[in-house]
DNA sequence: CATTGATCATGG
DNA sequence: CCATGATCAATG
């Protein structure tokens, strides 16, 4: 495998680098980086994201930082169909179930992660082999006031329920644009939380995810302003 | 067929 | 276990 690309020095450089990938297949990109392309993502669900991090020169690695730390930009690949509709929700971050006293939307991981995002949409219809999936047009996004408001409302609703000890009452149905769902190695994984009576108990770890309707809007918004 | 719940790999 | 990267797959 070729070494990871040098980190881009400016946002514009990152965006230009990303734009050069538009129209290329994952096979082309991986071959150039001398990385083997898996036949299935079943055992390597994060492969596409890691490939793009590698070729774009992301710096954070496994750290809890933005992918391009110096630029304060988070990288998100997103699978879409040929019309631009997202095929999956987008994982944002693990949800803290403890230590939420005094937590606000402004201080939340979700708010920080979504402050500035380089979206790399990839035409990733299931019938396409991994190597034949095509990078569409990447774009950099920050939430509009309206989008931030929607996100903040959902975050507050879900966080309130966690604080009230109702985490196990939460299903993916809650939230207009942001949902809370399991995020774990398997259904046996456990983390600490409080129940309704304020007692500690072990529950499935959860994560915040952006619903596809929301990310679809981002993509359409970008197409309009392009 | 959209959605929710379950799952896979890796590093610290 | 938690945080990184997400998609798989059962269900309604």
The pLDDT, as a whole number, for residue A203 is 98
A132 located within any domain: yes
Per-residue confidence band for A135, with pLDDT thresholds at 50, 70 and 90: very high
SS3 A50: helix
Distances (CA, A) of A158 to A95, A99, A147: 10, 15, 17
Identify whether the C-beta of residue A140 lies closer than 8 Å to the C-beta of residue A73. yes
Per-residue confidence band for A226, with pLDDT thresholds at 50, 70 and 90: confident
Spanning CA of A140 to C1' of C1, the rounded length in angstroms is 33
Q: In whole angstroms, what separates CA A90 from the centre of its chain?
A: 5
The rounded mean pLDDT for chain A is 96
Closest C1' nucleotide to A187's CA = B6
Nucleotides of C under 7 A from a protein CB: 1-9
A142 located within any domain: yes
Residues in chain A: 226
Identify whether the C-beta of residue A71 lies closer than 8 Å to the C-beta of residue A15. no
A2 located within any domain: no
Instruction: Match 């997103």 to its residue by tokens.
Output: A78
pLDDT one-digit tens code per residue, A118-129: 999 999 999 999
Helix (H) or strand (E) holding A204: none
A170 located within any domain: yes
Count the domains in chain A.
1
pLDDT one-digit tens code per residue, A46-102: 999 999 999 999 987 778 899 999 999 999 999 999 999 999 999 999 999 999 999
Beta strands in chain A (DSSP E): 74-80, 90-94, 117-123, 134-135, 139-141, 178-182, 191-194, 200-203, 206-210
Q: Which residue is nearest to nucleotide B1 (CA to C1')?
A: A87
A151 located within any domain: yes
Average pLDDT on A154-181 reads: 98
A62 located within any domain: yes
Q: Half-sphere exposure of residue A116, counting CA atoms within 13 Å on the CB side?
A: 12
Distances (CA, A) of A24 to A20, A104, A120, A131, A137: 8, 41, 12, 10, 10
Q: Half-sphere exposure of residue A96, counting CA atoms within 13 Å on the CB side?
A: 14
The pLDDT, as a whole number, for residue A2 is 87
A162 located within any domain: yes
Residue range of the domain that includes A169: 11-224
Spanning CA of A207 to C1' of B6, the rounded length in angstroms is 13
SS3 A31: helix
What is the domain-level CATH number for residue A32? Answer: 3.40.600.10
Whether the pLDDT of residue A1 is over 80: the answer is: yes
Spanning CA of A172 to C1' of C11, the rounded length in angstroms is 13
A5 located within any domain: no
């Amino acid at each position: 495998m070729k070494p990871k690309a040098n980190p881009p020095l400016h946002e514009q450089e990152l965006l230009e680098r990303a734009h050069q990938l538009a129209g290329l297949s994952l096979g082309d990109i991986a071959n150039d980086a001398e990385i083997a392309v898996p036949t299935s993502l079943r055992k390597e669900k994060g492969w596409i994201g890691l490939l793009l991090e590698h070729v774009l020169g992301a710096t954070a690695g496994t750290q809890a930082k933005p992918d391009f730390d110096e630029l304060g930009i988070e990288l998100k690949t997103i699978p879409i169909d040929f019309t631009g509709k997202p095929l999956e929700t987008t994982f944002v971050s693990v949800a803290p179930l403890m230590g939420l006293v005094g937590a606000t939307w402004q201080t939340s991981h979700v708010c920080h992660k979504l402050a500035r995002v380089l979206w790399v949409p990839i035409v990733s219809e299931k019938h396409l082999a991994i190597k034949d999936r095509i990078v569409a047009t990447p774009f950099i996004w920050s939430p509009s006031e309206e989008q931030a408001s929607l996100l903040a409302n959902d975050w507050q609703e879900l966080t309130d329920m966690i604080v009230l000890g109702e985490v196990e009452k939460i299903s993916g149905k809650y939230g207009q644009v942001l949902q809370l769902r399991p995020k774990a190695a398997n259904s046996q994984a456990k983390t600490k939380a409080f129940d309704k009576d304020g007692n500690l108990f072990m529950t499935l770890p959860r994560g915040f995810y952006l619903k596809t309707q929301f990310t679809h809007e981002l993509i359409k918004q970008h197409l309009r302003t392009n």
